[in-house]
Structure 1
Amino acid sequence: MFRPHRSRRTALALTGLVAAALALAGVPATATAAPAGSAPALRVDGNWIRDENGNGVTLQGVSVLAPEQNDLCEYCNSKPTSELIDLAADTAAGWNSDVVRLPVTEISSTTDLAAYDAQYIAPYVDQAVDLGIYLIIDLHLVRDYGDAAGAVPQSMVKRFWDYIAPIYGGTSNVIFEVFNEPINPANWNTWKDYIQPVVDSIRTTAPDTLLLMGSPQWSTMLNGALTNPVEDDNLAYVYHLYPNQGSPTEALLDSKFGNAAASIPVVITEFGWNPPGEFSDPITNGTTSNWGVPFREYIDAHPWIGWQAWILDNFWKPQMFDYDWNLMGGEFQGQFVKDWLAGEPNVSPCTVHEAVGASVQVSSVYQTYSGDNLTDGDCTNAGRWISAVGDTTPTATVSLAAAQDVSSVGVYSGYNGGSGVVLVDFTIEVHTSAGWQQAAAVTGNTQAARDVAVGVSGVDQIRLVVTNPSASTTEAKIARVYELAVRG
């Protein structure tokens, strides 16, 4: 596997020969051809994407918010798109993205494409060339396609690419994602008939640009390409994956895109998750432990599949930052994606945290499931603390090695295969030099992995007090807790 090398570029002037060729190809008079580029040109070879030296390339990166959406959130304290692209590529900051996906959202059949390009695309192509990274121009339509009322007519998609392709077709840093998420008709052959003329038109002015091809039903039907591929020799197929599609088991991912990726090139241009709450929705509800870790395990074992995580922002869900631009960790995706880009080990936040090895006192113990298990980093069934039958208020107190800031505590409870045995009602208390205080109260919990916000400085002890250990009507009313994961 090869990840592209990033380097700064010197100014690149378009040669007269290329300019003349673009003119002959019919570039609109308002369009100015972009620089030739600073990243190796990419080509499809079997199920791999390769650079000009034949190295297999795994495109790994993030999506940013569409620039034209950047001022719509009144509570996000929005950052400029250019700042987020710089961050995505910043190796010193630990992000290490090889590619950034730039959504294009406000496009219609009458959009002034020259003005749109000048404001929302061209500056970021220049920035990508400066940074030596790839930039995906993503026509971010999420609509039905075709001639039905309210659908996207083929002419609209073709109009956009007929303008954009001549400008950026000679820039090796640029990749075209032709149509983000067509929805209906939910038929691959119908989709191919719709999109093939668009691809053919792109190739008249951008013969070498890598294309990324979506599919109906929100880009989840790429298997149709196995028997009826889009006719093009430099095109990879897109899949979008979120937790609403199911637990990312090998069997599920094989069926969705993995088996296809053994013979055709595949890029996951959208995936993401956050725990249930304000930073997720029914599509993206998931946790790092139960969704992110197994998904990464699968993708790491299939290095020919590239990926771009959604989304390096704090507005559209599932966000990587909170509204104050703190990178969200624990069971939220932000820190996990950053660590993945940096090549850090694939570990659950249940097993690695700041209280591993801390001493624990508990109110009771069932058999050999002692309180020390709460801070041992073992999140298997054998590594749980279980309270004794008859303990009506199971309580555990963790003593930290030194006082520290605590942003959250991950409460991991239940057992594999169990139903209704996660902690239901509990509080988190913290001790500082001022004494004990309640930091959070949780009621009606149904999550096996629950990140509880704390936000207290100078904490030297943390206490879990359980008032309802289980919703089960058949299992014993005892607390079953894998880990209390303290996060600074």
Structure 2
Amino acid sequence: MVALVICSFLSPKAVAASQTPVVINGQLTIKGTQLVNQHGKAVQLKGISSHGLQWYGEFVNKSSLRWMRDDWGITVFRAAMYTADGGYIDDPSVKNKVKEAVEAAKELGIYVIIDWHILNDGNPNQHKDKAKQFFKEMSKLYGNTPNVIYEIANEPNGNVTWNRDIRPYAQEITSVIRKNDPDNIIIVGTSNWSQDVDIAAEHPLEDDNVMYALHFYAGTHGQSLRDKANTALRKGAPLFVTEWGTSDASGNGGVFLKQSQEWLEFLDHKKISWVNWNLSDKQESSAALKPSTSKTGGWSQSDLSLTGQFIKKSIRKSTHSNPNDSDLKKPDQNKQTQQNSSLSVQYKAGDQNVNGNQIRPQFNIINNSKKTVSLKDITVRYWYKAKNKTQHLDCDYAQIGSGNITHKFVKLNHSLESADSYLEISFKNGALEPGTSTGEIQTRLHNEDWSPYTQSDDYSFSNTNTFKETKNITLYENGKLVWGIEPK
């Protein structure tokens, strides 16, 4: 059976129309191992976590959350309230920042995770009575609020086991919450810093709406942890990645983008919701913001760390905000078209710098068929954001002759998240024999005023320095799309 999936991204236009994540999805529940919405359709939430609220709480406010909802497309935010290290146990007033986050999330229509963030105090039973008091208060306040999710033990660790320590604790805390809130999702941490989800799956809690926390850091954790996740899913345990980082397990080192992408592809395939660590300007590779950045949003691409740029792009790349069955079939149909196509496009970036005053896309068009193709019948489109500026193009080199290249710039009638324009390349004459290609075509475009571009979110851009096939550059023969997928 194929699940209909509600992915996490919502365009600013949709948000402005009050089609917020909570309006669309409403009360979340569990069906099998899948998080589903009020209509029983699969949901994959994507967002970011605060750092410790006692240290970086200034970044958690309605303005910053609104910015990330509208500019990044987050559908969930995690308020990480440390218990030790100057957190709630030492200073209970830090819970006011949690309340601020929840109230902002309610108004903005995104989901929010209330995180009881045990870490150095590795056994959740150490502060169990305080946890009961806290979750009693939170569930009384927000028990009728469908966008609240409770995470009752961040990362149990040390000499702590699931059956002896974590499961009994979770039973007690869950019982406290359920007296006030019978419906909202509860997430339970697992042993070994929330990695042993396979062990928890052997003796799950008897609650229909409980999920199990899986945490990873891409520079440290790889396939062996994904194997644990697969085991847990086979045993029927629903998983939620409430914390993961692009760094190693220390929160520093890296950034490990290739390993991070492998993890995100796994989570997307399994439809597992995720929250990245962390929203702060701390000088570590897992922080999304550069030092001394605004606390209230409005961040340009240059304000984001490499992690921040990757996370923003990953969330915004989600394809559908509210698909129907026909929407879900379109990508497969496009893939079939590409597989049967007689033509394909290879691309590389002449300059891998995402911030600069020129864009340097390079193309190679290949004839995979057994017939000769006229170049006059072919056009290629490179999709990007011109931001209403006048554009200019130079062809620095083409194996088939620079003078054979023509172009035009086209502004879209309705701007998309990843493109508001495209560059269209066409040819004056020539032909591609079967099994041959145009060879390298080097182009260079710039704004008339030479102002800078930020390419990282452009639909067709990739920072590859070797020619590779890409579906984000489209190719047409006699006006018909025969290669690639147009942005939506």
TM-score per shorter chain, which class? Answer: 0.5 to 0.7
1:162, distance to aligned residue in structure 2 (A): 1.9
| 1:173 corresponds to | 147
1:352, distance to aligned residue in structure 2 (A): 8.6
1:67, distance to aligned residue in structure 2 (A): 3.9
C-alpha contact (below 8 Å) 2:117/2:154 kept by paired residues: yes
If the length of structure 1 is used for normalisation, what is the TM-score?
0.58
CA distance in 2, matches of 1:141, 1:351: 47
C-alpha contact (below 8 Å) 1:145/1:154 kept by paired residues: no
C-alpha contact (below 8 Å) 2:51/2:278 kept by paired residues: yes
Q: Secondary structure at the match of 2:278?
A: coil
| 1:267 corresponds to | 240
CA distance in 2, matches of 1:400, 1:8: 36
C-alpha contact (below 8 Å) 1:331/1:349 kept by paired residues: no
1:7, distance to aligned residue in structure 2 (A): 5.4
Say which of 297, 310, 315 aligns to 1:336: 310
Say which of 183, 204, 220 aligns to 1:245: 220
Closer, same or farther: CA 187–322 of 1 in aligned 2, 3 Å: same
Q: Secondary structure at the match of 1:238?
A: strand
| 1:2 corresponds to | 6
Structure 1 residues 379-436: Cα deviation after superposition (integer angstroms, max 9, x where no partner): xxxxxxxxxxxxxxxxxxx99776786999xxxxxxxxxxxxxxxxxxxxxxxxxxxx
Residue 85 of structure 1 pairs with residue 65 of structure 2:
yes
C-alpha contact (below 8 Å) 1:273/1:287 kept by paired residues: yes
Say which of 304, 322, 329 aligns to 2:290: 322
Whichever residue aligns with residue 81 of structure 1, its letter is N
Q: Secondary structure at the match of 1:179?
A: coil
CA distance in 2, matches of 1:165, 1:57: 23
1:254, distance to aligned residue in structure 2 (A): 3.1
Q: Unaligned regions of 5+ residues in structure 1, if any?
A: 11-35, 72-77, 275-279, 361-397, 409-450, 452-480
The number of residues matched between the two structures is 327
Closer, same or farther: CA 184–349 of 1 in aligned 2, 3 Å: farther
1:268, distance to aligned residue in structure 2 (A): 0.8
If the length of structure 2 is used for normalisation, what is the TM-score?
0.58
Q: Unaligned regions of 5+ residues in structure 2, if any?
A: 294-299, 320-346, 353-358, 363-394, 398-441, 456-462, 468-488
| 2:103 corresponds to | 126
Closer, same or farther: CA 183–44 of 1 in aligned 2, 3 Å: same
CA distance in 2, matches of 1:80, 1:65: 9
Structure 1 residues 201-227: Cα deviation after superposition (integer angstroms, max 9, x where no partner): 221121111101111221111111221
CA distance in 2, matches of 1:236, 1:242: 20
| 2:54 corresponds to | 68
Q: What's the RMSD between the two structures over aligned residues?
A: 4.0
The structure in which a higher percent of residues are helix is 2
| 2:116 corresponds to | 139
Determine what percentage of the aligned residue pairs are the same residue.
22
Whichever residue aligns with residue 323 of structure 1, its letter is P
Say which of 206, 216, 229 aligns to 2:204: 229
| 2:486 corresponds to | none
> Following superposition of structure 1 onto structure 2, how do residues 425-436 of structure 1 map, counting pairs within 5 Å?
none
CA distance in 1, matches of 2:283, 2:182: 34
1:483, distance to aligned residue in structure 2 (A): 6.3
1:244, distance to aligned residue in structure 2 (A): 4.3
Closer, same or farther: CA 8–235 of 1 in aligned 2, 3 Å: farther
Residue 210 of structure 1 pairs with residue 185 of structure 2:
yes
C-alpha contact (below 8 Å) 1:96/1:341 kept by paired residues: yes
Closer, same or farther: CA 331–51 of 1 in aligned 2, 3 Å: same
Whichever residue aligns with residue 314 of structure 1, its letter is D
CA distance in 2, matches of 1:324, 1:349: 34
C-alpha contact (below 8 Å) 2:349/2:360 kept by paired residues: no
Structure 1 residues 53-106: Cα deviation after superposition (integer angstroms, max 9, x where no partner): 1111111111123443237xxxxxx6553332112211xx2x111111111125
CA distance in 1, matches of 2:98, 2:186: 17
C-alpha contact (below 8 Å) 1:212/1:235 kept by paired residues: yes
CA distance in 2, matches of 1:330, 1:315: 12
C-alpha contact (below 8 Å) 2:82/2:116 kept by paired residues: yes
| 1:448 corresponds to | none
1:334, distance to aligned residue in structure 2 (A): 1.7
| 2:267 corresponds to | 299
